[in-house]
Structure 1
Amino acid sequence: MTELQVAILLLDVALIVLVARLVGRLARALGQPPVIGEIVAGILLGPTLFHGAVSGTLFPMVVRPHLSTLASVGLVLFMFVVGLEFDFSRLRGSGRGAAGATAIGATVVPLGLGVLLALYLADRHQPANRLGFVLFMAVAVSITAFPVLARILTDRGMSRTLIGTIALSAAAVCDLVAWTLLAVVQAIVGGGTQHQWLILLVIPFALLLFGVVRPGLRRLAARTGPRSAGRIAIVLVGLLISAAVTQMVGLHFVFGAFLFGLAVPRSDDVFREELRHRTEAATMLLLPVYFIVAGLNVDLSRVDVDAVVDFVLIMVTAVAGKFGGTFLAARTQGLSGRQSAELATLMNTRGLTELIALSVGLQIGVLDGGLYSLMVVMAVVTTAMCGPMLQMLSRESRAKELSFIPG
C-alpha cells in the first residue's frame, strides 16, 4: 500500500466507527437495536444511492480489499463470542417442553417453506448448483439471530422471564442447526472441486478441539489467574488458527471461530466474562467495517417489478414460517395466545446472524447480487419488526387487563 492508501484506509475506518456510533444511537432512540442502524447505514453508503458515487468516493476500490480484511477479523471475533455465549446448561435445564417444541417449530416449518420458495426462485435466478441453492434458501429463512435476540431481551428486561428463557433456548438450537446446515450447503456447493475431500477433516478437527484443546484450556485455567494476559493470548491464537483451519479445508472461517468459541471451557465464568469483554472491545471497532463491506454488495437501485415480487414472497415466507411455526408450537405447550405471539415475534429476529449467512452464500456463489440485496433487506425488516410488535402486544395485554377492572 502507498502512503496515501494507508491514510485513506485509516480515515475510512474512523468514518465508519463514527457513523456506526451515531446511527446506533439513533436506532436506540427509535426503539431498535443498534445493529439495525449500522446495517442500514452500510446499505445507504453502498451503491444503492447515487449509483455508487458516494461509495466510490468514500471507499475507493484500492482500499476495499484492506477493509475486507479488517471486516474478516471483526467477523472472526464476533462469531467467537457467539460460540462463547452458547449456554449448554440452558439447553439441559429448559431444552424440554415448551423450549424444545419451540425450537422444532421455529426450525422445521421455516425450512419446509424455504424449500418451496427456493424451488420457485431457482427457475428465475438459475443457480449453478440447484440443490445447494434450495438448501441455502431454506436455511436463510429459518435463522434466528441469537446475539440480537439476547440484546433485545436484556434491553426490555425479559431475559429472566419464562418467554425470554424459552426464546433464548430455542434460538440457541436454531442457530446451531443453521450453522451446521450451512456447512453442509458449502460442502455440497464445492463438491466439484479437486480437493473437496479436505472438508471431511473438519470432523477430526472438531473432535480435536473438544477432546484435546478444551481439556488443555481447563488445565491452563488451573495454573493461571482468570485475567492472565498470557492465557487470553493463547485463546486468541487458538481462535485465529481454528478459523484458518476451516477456511483452508473448504469451509468459511466463521465456522472455525464459532467452533472454538464452543470449545472454550464453561467452568470458569470469570475468565469467560473477561475474554468476552476484551473481545467485544475489538469487535466494536472492527464489526462496523463489516457492515460497510456488506453494504457495498447491496444495490437496490436496479430493483424492478420482478424483484419486488421476489421480495414480497421472501418476506411472506420468512415471517409466516418463523412466526407461524413458533406460534403453533408454543400453543401446543399450553402457552397463551399473547405469550405465543411474543415468543414468535422474538424468534423472527434475524439481524447480523442472517447477514453473515448471506455473505457466505454470496461468496460461495449460491446467491446472485440481486437476491443477496433482497435477502439483506428482509433481515433488516424482520428484525426491525420485533420492537413495535412487542410494544403492540404489551399495549393489548394492558388494555385487556384494564377492561376487567370493576368500574
Structure 2
Amino acid sequence: MSSDAMITHFVGAAAVVIVVAHVSGWVARLLRQPVIVGQLVAGIALGPTLLGTLAPEVSRQLFPSEIDPMLNALSQLALVVFLFGVGYELDLSILRQRARTVVTVSLAAFLVPMAAGACVALLFQEELVRLGAPAGMPLSAVLFLGVALSITAVPVLAAILRQNGLAGTLPGVIAMAAAGLIDVMGWSVLIGALLEAGDHSGLHWAGRLALVVLFTAAMLLGARPLLRRLLWRRHLDASYKLAVLVGFACASAWVTSALGLHVIFGALLAGAVVPRGEGGMLEPELVRPLNDVAGLLLPFFFVISGAKVAVGSLDTSALVVLLLVTALGVLAKVGSGMGAARLCGVGRDDARTIGVLLSARGLTELIALNAGLQAGLIAGPLFTVFVLMALATTIATQPLLALVRWLASRPGREPDGDAGEGSRERAGPVPTSVPGSP
C-alpha cells in the first residue's frame, strides 16, 4: 500500500473511531454509566468480536493491517497525555485530614485482592497458562495477575462520584484518596513485575531498577524546580506552557520505555512533578485542554485494545475463569474496603459505599493489562477475560450503589450506629476531574 493510500485509510478509520466512540459514550451516559464504558464497548465492537465477525471484509477495508502502526502510535500518545493529566491532578493531600482511615482502607483494598489474584494464579496455573499466561507462571506473572485484581480506576471513580452526588461526601473523599494510594501501590508492584519480566536494553532487572530509581530521583529533585523556573516565573502564554509540558511528558515516557518499562510510568511521573499553583491549586488553563485532548484521543486506545479482544474465542473453561475473577474482583474489593472502613469507625452505609466505589476498575485496569500484554505477562483469551472483568466490575458499580441506597432506606431499619466519621456530612473538596472522566 502506498503512503498516500495509507493516509487515506487512516483518516477514514479515525473518523469512524471518533464518531462511534463518542456516540457510544453518550449512550453510556444516558444509561448512567461512565463515558469510558461506552467507549470501551465501542472499541471491542470495532474489533474481531463484532465487526470482524459480522462483516470481515468491511473490517479489513476499514482497518487494514498496514495502518496498525499509525493507530498504535496515536493510542500511545493518547495514553501519555491522559496519564500526564492524571499525575498532575492526583491529590493525596486529604491524607492529612483522615490519614488513618485512608491508609487502612487503601492497604486492605489493595493487599486482599492482590493476595486473591496471586492465589488464583498459583492454584489454577495450568488453566491460566492454557489461556495465555506465561509457561511456568513466573513471579512476574503472579504479581501481574495480583495487580490486575487490585487496581481501582481513579478517573472512572471521579466520574461515578459526580454522577451520584458523592463528590465531597465522607465516603466519596475517602474512596478517592484511597484509590489514589491503591494506584500508587499498584503501579509500583507493576514496575517490579515488568522489570523482572523484561529484557529491554540488555540490562539485568536490578540494573534497570537502579536506573529507574535514579531517573525518578532526578525528576523529583530536579525537574520540578527547573520547570518552575522556566515556566512559572515568567508570564507565558498558556498554549506555550502546555506544549512544553506535553513535550516533557513525552520525553519522560521515552526514558521509561527505553528502561524496559511502559510509557505510562514516565507520563505519570512527569505529571506528578509538574509544579502546582499557589496553595497546591491546579491551573485551569492546563487541566481543561488536557481533558479535551485526552478525551478526543483515548478512543484510539480503546480500538487498539478492542482489536485484541475476541469474545468468540472464549471456551467453557475461559468463561468459568471469567466468572471466577469477576466475582473475586468484586467481593475482594467490596469486602476489604468495607471491612477496613468499619474498623476505622466509619458508619455501616458509608463503609458499604466505600467498598463498592473501590471496585470500579475501568480505564486504569485496561492500561495495566496492555502493559502486561506488551511484556508477555498475559495474552490470548486470558487478556479477553481480564478486559471483560474490568468492564463488568465497572458496570456493576452503579447497580451496587443503588443496592446500598436501598439497604439504607429500608423501613424499620436500625439507624447507623456511628455518627462520627461515618456521618453523611460533606467532607471537603474532592480532587477535580481527571482527563477522560466526563
Q: What TM-score do you get using the length of structure 2 for normalisation? A: 0.87
Report deviation, 1:323: 1.1
Give the match for residue 193 of structure 2. Answer: 185
Cα contact 1:226–1:270 (8 A) shared by 2: no
Give the match for residue 263 of structure 2. Answer: 253
Cα contact 1:48–1:300 (8 A) shared by 2: yes
Give the match for residue 283 of structure 2. Answer: 272
Q: Which amino acid aligns with 1:281?
A: D
Aligned equivalents of 1:222, 1:252: Cα separation in 2? 29
Deviations 1:38-81 (A, max 9, x none): 11111111111265415333211111111011101001111111
Report deviation, 1:271: 6.0
- Tell me the SS of whatever aligns to 1:88: coil
Q: Which amino acid aligns with 2:59?
A: S
Cα contact 1:142–1:322 (8 A) shared by 2: yes
| Identity %, equivalent residues | 35
Q: State how 1:3-402 maps to structure 2 within 5 Å.
A: 3-49=4-50, 51-52=52-53, 53=56, 55-94=59-98, 96-126=99-129, 127-128=134-135, 130-190=138-198, 194-196=202-204, 197-225=207-235, 227-268=237-278, 272-400=283-411
Aligned equivalents of 1:242, 1:306: Cα separation in 2? 41
Report deviation, 1:303: 1.2
For structure 2, which runs of at least 5 residues remain unmatched after alignment? 416-438
Aligned equivalents of 1:397, 1:8: Cα separation in 2? 54
Cα contact 1:358–1:376 (8 A) shared by 2: yes
Aligned equivalents of 2:4, 2:202: Cα separation in 1? 40
Report deviation, 1:310: 1.0
Report deviation, 1:226: 6.7
Cα contact 2:201–2:259 (8 A) shared by 1: no
Report deviation, 1:230: 2.8
Shift in CA distance, 3/282, structure 1 to aligned 2, threshold 3 Å: same
Shift in CA distance, 192/221, structure 1 to aligned 2, threshold 3 Å: closer
Deviations 1:218-244 (A, max 9, x none): 223442237533322221221111000
Aligned equivalents of 1:85, 1:265: Cα separation in 2? 11
Q: Which amino acid aligns with 1:32?
A: Q
- Tell me the SS of whatever aligns to 1:63: helix
Deviations 1:341-395 (A, max 9, x none): 1111100000000000000111100002110000000000000011111122223
Aligned equivalents of 1:164, 1:203: Cα separation in 2? 33
Q: Which amino acid aligns with 2:312?
A: S
- Tell me the SS of whatever aligns to 2:150: coil
Aligned equivalents of 2:236, 2:107: Cα separation in 1? 37
Deviations 1:131-154 (A, max 9, x none): 111110001100000111011112
Aligned length: 403
Aligned equivalents of 1:7, 1:227: Cα separation in 2? 35
Report deviation, 1:200: 2.5
Aligned equivalents of 2:242, 2:282: Cα separation in 1? 9
Aligned equivalents of 1:117, 1:134: Cα separation in 2? 9
Report deviation, 1:170: 0.3
Report deviation, 1:330: 1.1
Q: Which amino acid aligns with 2:171?
A: I
Cα contact 1:220–1:231 (8 A) shared by 2: no
Aligned equivalents of 1:270, 1:135: Cα separation in 2? 36
Give the match for residue 433 of structure 2. Answer: none
Q: What TM-score do you get using the length of structure 1 for normalisation? A: 0.94
Shift in CA distance, 271/348, structure 1 to aligned 2, threshold 3 Å: closer
Deviations 1:190-219 (A, max 9, x none): 259732434431111111111111011222
Deviations 1:301-351 (A, max 9, x none): 121111111112211221121111111111111222221111111000000
Shift in CA distance, 137/271, structure 1 to aligned 2, threshold 3 Å: closer
Cα contact 1:111–1:139 (8 A) shared by 2: yes
For structure 1, which runs of at least 5 residues remain unmatched after alignment? none
Q: Which amino acid aligns with 2:183?
A: D
- Tell me the SS of whatever aligns to 2:94: helix
Shift in CA distance, 279/192, structure 1 to aligned 2, threshold 3 Å: closer
Deviations 1:230-264 (A, max 9, x none): 32222122111100010111111100000001101
Aligned equivalents of 1:186, 1:214: Cα separation in 2? 27
